[in-house]
Amino acid sequence: MGKMAAAVGSVATLLFRFYRQSRPGTADLGGVIDFSVSHAARGTGPGAAKVVKSQLNLSSVSDHDALRAGLQPVSKWQAYGLQGYPGFIFISNPFLPGYQWHWVKQCLKLYSRKPNVCNLDKHMTKEETQDLWEQSKEFLRCKEVNKRRPRSLLEKLRWVTLGYHYNWDSKRYSADHYTPFPSDLAFLSEQVAAACGFQGFRAEAGILNYYRLDSTLGIHVDRSELDHSRPLLSFSFGQSAIFLLGGLKRDEAPTPMFMHSGDIMVMSGFSRLLNHAVPRVLPSAEGDSLPGCLGTPLPADLPRDSVVEPCSLEEWQVCASYLKTARVNMTVRQVLAVGQDFPLDPTEENKRDITAEGSCHLDDDNSQVKRARLSPDC
């Protein structure tokens, strides 16, 4: 009986496979929650009844500080939760028109630079990966002209780590593997965390995932941070994706939902250590095109103290070419509690269970390890 159950796989694994093979525009996606539509229109899927409004801390972030980060006033944010998932908050694209341009550009142009760490470092020298943007921008500008050209380095990028750099082998952070966390992303994260009731949040580590249309992110839990009382923040840009939010146990049936460009998710409290995954990035229904919210340019007249920087049309041309077949996700974490230090000598109780540990690598359909990533040992 045990062998038969193992062969069939858990409900979570089966749903992961189902949505990985799903076809946009069909009944396959009928049960996926879409927070971007009206509450009435959200009632077609089995998970729709779980949606509830989330109350935000309106006084914790001034309208001016929200503007500095490119966000609408908190009073205008559309925030939701799910019954049975306390601590989970979904904020439907709170960015001001045009301001996503900055964050997309930062992910592709600035955050991918050295001294930050990326997946290409294992195969290339530091000099070769010093500035992926400069080496890729002409390739991406010519993407429409020559679709058979070799992929640029940016298109081969799968992940970048910021601040305390996550060690994918040991599943840990350490004090001696650190570079300064980007100040603009820290400010954005602090405003979102404060609006969700987490004043004093410190952005200390970031993992950026760069998805192609055939990329997936396996079922996992993010537990490597030493302070689980602080939230995990997730920012999505580019093409839409399906996100599966599961339970404390890997085999619990997950709730599927869409993540669209500009959406923010906050996992805190009970939901901080839940299993989750991304089985599918959805191609645009119109072919190679961008989500409508990315069609508005970043305003030229920015507030004097804004953390957002100008984005030229030439720079956006490169970003847009990339995002037509891609999605970028930024996750930001506080690693240490106030006054806490990393342990000098890891003990047995501090060692992480790698078979249940967080932040699995991205997989592509042409990856040799794809099948293993879908196994219970992901």
Q: What is the mean pLDDT of residues 213-239?
A: 95
SS3 295: coil
Share the mean pLDDT of the chain.
Answer: 86
Q: What per-residue confidence (pLDDT) applies to 26?
A: 74
pTM equals 0.88
User: What tokens were used for 198?
Assistant: 């987490």
H helix intervals, 163-312: 183-195
CATH of span 11-21+29-333 = 2.60.120.590
CA distance 363 to 118: 15
Q: Is residue 375 scored above 60 in pLDDT?
A: no
**What's the burial of 232, exposed, middle or buried (CB within 10 Å: 0-12/13-18/19+)?**
buried
Residue 220 known to bind ligand: yes
- Indicate whether 1 pLDDT > 90: no
pLDDT digits (tens, 9 = 90+) for 276-306: 999 999 988 766 789 999 999 999 999 999 9
In terms of DSSP H, where are the helices of the chain? 2-8, 11-20, 63-68, 100-105, 132-141, 153-156, 183-195, 313-323, 370-373
pLDDT on residue 50: 87
The predicted structure's pLDDT at residue 2: 43
pLDDT tens digits along 158-217: 999 999 999 999 999 999 999 999 999 999 999 999 999 999 999 999 999 999 999 999
Q: Scan for tokens 């009073």, then name that residue.
A: 75
Q: Cα–Cα distances in Å, from 132 out to 113, 164, 310?
A: 7, 21, 20
Q: What is the pLDDT of residue 76?
A: 98
The answer to whether 123 is a known ligand-binding residue is: no
Q: According to the annotation, is 276 in a ligand binding site?
A: yes
Task: Specify the pLDDT at position 378.
Answer: 33
Question: Which pLDDT value is given to residue 356?
Answer: 38
pLDDT score at 349: 42
Residue 371 has pLDDT above 50, yes or no: no
Q: What percent of the chain has pLDDT over 90?
A: 73
> Across the chain, which distance is largest between two alpha carbons, in Å?
66
Scanning 26-172, the segments in alpha helix (DSSP H) are 63-68, 100-105, 132-141, 153-156
**Residue pair 165/239 in contact by the 8 Å Cβ criterion:** no
Q: pLDDT class for 25, splitting at 50, 70, 90?
A: confident
Phi, psi of 333 (to 5 degrees): -135, 150
**∠279-204-214 over CA atoms, to 5°?**
20
pLDDT over 60 (residue 4): no
pLDDT tops 80 at residue 358 = no
Give the mean model confidence (pLDDT) for residues 31-58: 76
354: tokens are: 């790698």
> How is residue 34 annotated by DSSP?
-
